[in-house]
Amino acid sequence: MALSISPSAVAPSSATCGALIHGIDLRDITTALAEEIRAIWLKHKVVAFPDQTLTLEQYEHLATFFGPFGQDPFFKSLPGHPHVAEIRREPDEKTPLFAEGFHSDWSFLEKPPAMTMLYGRVIPPMGGDTLYSDQVAAYDALSDEMKEKLEGLIGIHSARRGYSRAGQYGEKDVGRSMAIVYDDKALATQLHPLVLTHPETGLKTLFLSPGYTIGIDGMEENEAQKLLFELYAYQSSEPFIYRHLWSEGMVTMWDNRSLIHAATGGYDGYQRVLQRITLAPRA
């Protein structure tokens, strides 16, 4: 069967991850096209499609080709669209920038999302880039000694730093335009290996972040924090970073199992609105 996406339509970034896919109208999604996209996505870890024109219904329909809908435990969804949340910032907003620290989405869940999708509805003329850090490349570049040290270690993940009552987006976070709902359920913890074997590619990847990893199971606190802070600095260092530039109408999909990501600012005085869908792993 002929491929719908020619190799010339895929423009890889100069980093170890990231690619733009040109010439595809996502309103014409089919099962075969979705499988082509998935293969490219698994290879590049984050892919983007410029110049899309999707209604919310079409955007939700697109998502169903890539997996079951996941959870968004601390966001209110858009009315009538329970699987779509907005990443929103108004021109005069003064709250701390949302998601500025590196993280893998909802890694504190028992089954974190495989894919996150963002659709750029309102994109400012400057700033607002997203940083992605390739955790497969980061693992590969570790010394043999560090790989051996990390083998078998289990990270403790929690949403408490962000979404508990005392967290960054808790009861003291006023004036934010995003519909965040803090909850002390965020104090719960979940265990995941610090080194994950990707279930689809079989590649090893670091699976931790300063956003959600709060400790190491069975390790003394001071020792655990020392190792974690060493890894935080390493995993987000320049050799692994892809800086993603947004444009209005762009749909971006990334793999939470092989990347961490962080928002950037630089667009004060402008509105920015992206619509988000998270997708659970395939059964």
Span 239-266, average pLDDT: 98
Strands lying side by side in the sheet with 130-134: 241-244, 130-134, 259-263
Q: What percent of the chain has pLDDT over 90?
A: 98
pLDDT of residue 1: 54
pLDDT of residue 283: 76
What sign has the CA pseudo-torsion 247, 248, 250, 253?
Answer: positive
* Of 188, 130, 126, 121, residue with least CA distance to 156: 188
Span 146-162, average pLDDT: 98
| Residue-range domain boundaries for the chain | 7-279
* Distance (Å) of CA 181 to CA 93, 168, 184, 279, 283: 18, 12, 10, 20, 29
Query: What's the N-to-C CA distance of the chain in angstroms?
Result: 26
Which of the four pLDDT bands, split at 50, 70 and 90, describes residue 2?
Answer: low
Q: Note the pLDDT tens digit of each residue in 94-150.
A: 999 999 999 999 999 999 999 999 999 999 999 999 999 999 999 999 999 999 999
Q: What ranges make up the beta strands (E) of the chain?
A: 10-12, 19-21, 46-49, 85-89, 115-122, 130-134, 154-158, 189-193, 195-197, 204-206, 213-216, 241-244, 251-255, 259-263, 272-279
CATH code for the structural domain at 7-279: 3.60.130.10
DSSP 200-213: TT--EEE---TTTE
CA atoms within 13 A on the CB side of 221: 1
Say if strands 204-206 and 85-89 run parallel, antiparallel, or are unpaired. unpaired
Q: Note the pLDDT tens digit of each residue in 32-78.
A: 999 999 999 999 999 999 999 999 999 999 999 999 999 999 999 99
pLDDT of residue 3: 74
Report the predicted TM-score, pTM, of the whole model to 2 decimal places. 0.97
